[in-house]
Structure 1
Amino acid sequence: MTVKLKGEAFDPHAELATFERRQGENIGAVASFIGRMRADGGASQLTLEHYPGMTEKEIGRIVREARTRWSLDDALVIHRYATIHVGDPIVLVAAAAAHRGEALAAVEFIIDYLKTRAPFWKKEERAKGSEWIEARDADDKAAERWK
């Protein structure tokens, strides 16, 4: 299990290739999710802030919970903080398992819980100024199905 928080840009494809290379012969599936900043509502950039130490611990708890629910051999979460521009990767989640169903479900669970439980604060920059972003009801509803 690897959890990384990065203040600088990262290459999700290179990180995923490294993750895949370290998997053993019993791995039948690697599932992944790459989240990128979109130009939602005219946003030009996003500032992500976090609580150092606390954020890593919470993400670690989320990944450990996924590993208790599904038979994962490995998991990877890389999440950005600092200023992010449209098109930049924000998050990479990957899970390795013997079977695709476990890997796919674990990735979906981890991303749903990252959106609702990991302590990040988001501020969008737009032409008319900046705005702190509240949690979305849709994210809470997505996480509810795992309870």
Structure 2
Amino acid sequence: MRHQILLVHDEQATRDSLVEALDKDGFIGIPAASGQQALDYLRSGGHASVILLDEHAGWTAFRRAQQRDPALASIPVIAISPMQGSSATSAAPEPIDVGLLITIVRRLCSGSPDAAYSKTGAHQIESHQVMVFVQVA
């Protein structure tokens, strides 16, 4: 089964290139231009294993909705830009390191014991240091 990854980014070119990278790596990349568009997709029955969310594309509104809706709260979120104090499952810096992003997505989709990132703090993923935050339900 190919995991569906909902990619929320306000820049069309970035969305397109990341969806292409996800597709090439065996995932199904689903683009959304805003947090609201992502919410509309999910509330209309769309599915995502992981959400990649750019802070400029509606982070605050999306997180509020996720905190109110248990179905949304169960979906891991990777912040695509540095966000101190956020409640993202992981934060990947911009400019986007596609290899790092794919590694994080792969781990979150794998179901391995370390995939849930249950501890806040810094984790080593291959040669990269990644800040990881606990998902707030």
Establish whether TM, by shorter chain, passes 0.5: no
Instruction: Tell me which structure has the larger Cα radius of gyration.
Output: 1
Greater fraction of residues in strand: 1
Q: Which has the higher contact order (CA 8 A, sep 6+)?
A: 1
